[in-house]
């Protein structure tokens, strides 16, 4: 029997999921596979080895440093250019992760990235919060017409792939640009634009074939006895949150895809850990309740022209509780346990009581390192006198040691 553990962001993303997944994967790496169940390369999950090797995982599972293979599920959006770049960067650490990909995983093209970036910049102050990787454009294109839908298995059939890319270039690209009101720059001639598109499409085919040589199209790797479902983004960005539209991502960030995949893998009961920092962050446009002028060091979420600066707010217990309950509502019967992880306690004390039992915490200057994680079962309360986080259960209070 295969067991499963889902790690899901409770906020707007960037909660520390990579650290927690690295920790969980390190406990039993020989028979654990990390499954990416939503989103794509816009994820940025940081893990640091005890030797100080640091990597921000986009495609590959955050358990890769522990030696765990990665499975990119049918709900994942593949970007061959960024995948190959990431795999090459890991070679510097002597890491060669095993990767399997479901044949139905959608594939992003440079055309999607181009449209996405042009559209987001054109929105000005009305930006949606995109990071420019082309996730929404990939899904929109794929749902519009089967001629435009590229899945990873298409890489096995060059004629089919080239036919779809030609249709995207000739029909989808001009119609989508017109729909979004995007015009070519005044200095860009139509013929030179066409040559540019031809060039990037040719390069994309090479990138896709290169990726095909590096992975296996299949389900879970053989020998998998434990699955860690690695969530991307957070519950506040779930595309099902119509109350937060348009500042959401184009995927299901909670349990929806996890439960479907668990059924396919024969997993009967799931453990779920919701992750939050000890404060809220948001990288990109959109509401952030309680936003303030705090600033904490963050090496991963650097300012960029699409998302701007990382934004901060105090942790809101009601906001977190509501998001978690919405996610759990239909799936209680499938779950063996539900708990939480709190990260970045070295930067800010936990000043509220969270809605679920805390199982993992991280604090200390090396908070991205797996050694910074501590296990603890209990509800946390803030002690104004001691300025430390402690447990409140029948057992004696436990102060969380600094890393």
How many other CB atoms are there within 10 angstroms of residue 58's CB atom?
20
Better pLDDT: 299 or 392: 299
Which DSSP category does 44 fall into?
Answer: -
Direct distance between the N- and C-terminal alpha carbons of the chain, in angstroms, rounded to an integer:
36
Share of the chain above pLDDT 90, in %: 61
Helix (H) or strand (E) holding 80: helix 80-91
Token pair of 238, please?
A: 């779930």
How many other CB atoms are there within 10 angstroms of residue 3's CB atom?
17
Cα-based distances in Å from 117 to 46, 78, 196, 316: 24, 18, 16, 32
**The pTM is what?**
0.88
Q: Which residues pair with 399 in a beta bridge?
A: 390
* Alpha carbons within 13 A on the beta-carbon side of 49: 13
Look at residue 382 and give its three-state secondary structure. Answer: strand
- pLDDT digits over 102-125, tens only? 999 999 999 999 998 888 877 777
- pLDDT digits over 214-271, tens only? 999 999 999 999 999 999 999 999 999 999 998 899 999 999 999 999 999 999 889 9
Rounded Cα gap, residues 372 and 398, in angstroms: 17
Q: 118: closest CA among 334, 350, 328, 305?
A: 305
Look at residue 286 and give its three-state secondary structure. Answer: coil
Q: Is 296 exposed, middle or buried (0-12, 13-18, 19+ CB in 10 A)?
A: middle
- pLDDT digits over 20-79, tens only? 999 999 999 999 999 999 999 988 888 888 888 889 999 999 999 999 999 999 999 999
> 386 falls in which pLDDT band (50, 70, 90)?
very low
- pLDDT digits over 305-338, tens only? 666 678 889 999 999 999 999 999 999 999 999 9
């009961």: which residue's tokens? 269
Question: Is pLDDT above 60 for 393?
Answer: no
């Amino acid at each position: 029997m295969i067991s499963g553990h889902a790690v899901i962001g409770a906020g707007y993303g960037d909660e520390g999921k990579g650290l927690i997944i690295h920790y969980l994967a390190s406990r039993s790496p020989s028979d654990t596979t990390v499954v990416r169940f939503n989103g794509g390369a816009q994820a940025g999950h940081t893990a640091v080895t005890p030797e100080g090797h640091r990597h921000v995982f986009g495609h590959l599972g955050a358990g890769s440093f522990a030696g765990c293979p990665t499975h990119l599920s049918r709900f994942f959006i593949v970007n061959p250019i960024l995948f190959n770049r990431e795999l090459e960067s890991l070679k510097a650490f002597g890491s060669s992760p095993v990767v399997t990909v479901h044949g139905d995983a959608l594939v992003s093209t440079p055309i999607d990235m181009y449209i996405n970036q042009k559209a987001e910049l054109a929105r000005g102050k009305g930006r949606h919060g995109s990071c420019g990787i082309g996730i929404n454009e990939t899904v929109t294109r794929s749902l519009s017409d089967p001629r435009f839908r590229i899945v990873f298995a298409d890489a096995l059939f060059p004629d089919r792939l080239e036919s779809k890319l030609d249709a995207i270039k000739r029909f989808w690209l001009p119609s989508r640009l017109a729909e979004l009101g995007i015009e070519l720059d005044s200095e860009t001639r139509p013929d030179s634009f066409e040559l540019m598109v031809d060039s990037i499409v040719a390069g994309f085919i090479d990138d896709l074939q290169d990726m095909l040589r590096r992975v296996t199209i299949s389900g879970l790797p053989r020998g998998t006895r434990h699955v860690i479902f690695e969530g991307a983004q957070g519950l506040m960005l779930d595309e099902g949150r119509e109350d937060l539209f348009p500042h959401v991502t184009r995927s299901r960030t909670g349990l929806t895809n996890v439960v479907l995949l668990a059924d396919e893998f024969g997993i009967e009961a799931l453990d779920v850990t919701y992750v939050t920092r000890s404060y809220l962050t948001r990288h990109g446009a959109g509401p952030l309740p309680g936003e303030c002028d705090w600033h904490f060091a963050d090496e991963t979420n650097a300012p960029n022209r699409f998302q701007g600066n990382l934004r901060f707010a105090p942790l809101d217990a009601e906001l977190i509780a509501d998001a978690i309950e919405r996610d759990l509502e239909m799936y209680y019967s499938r779950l063996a346990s539900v708990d939480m992880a709190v990260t970045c306690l070295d930067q800010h004390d936990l000043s509220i009581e969270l809605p679920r039992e805390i199982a993992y915490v991280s604090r200390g200057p090396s908070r991205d390192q797996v050694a910074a994680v501590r296990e603890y079962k209990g509800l946390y309360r803030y002690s104004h006198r001691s300025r430390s986080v402690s447990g409140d259960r029948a057992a004696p209070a436990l102060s969380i040691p600094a890393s």
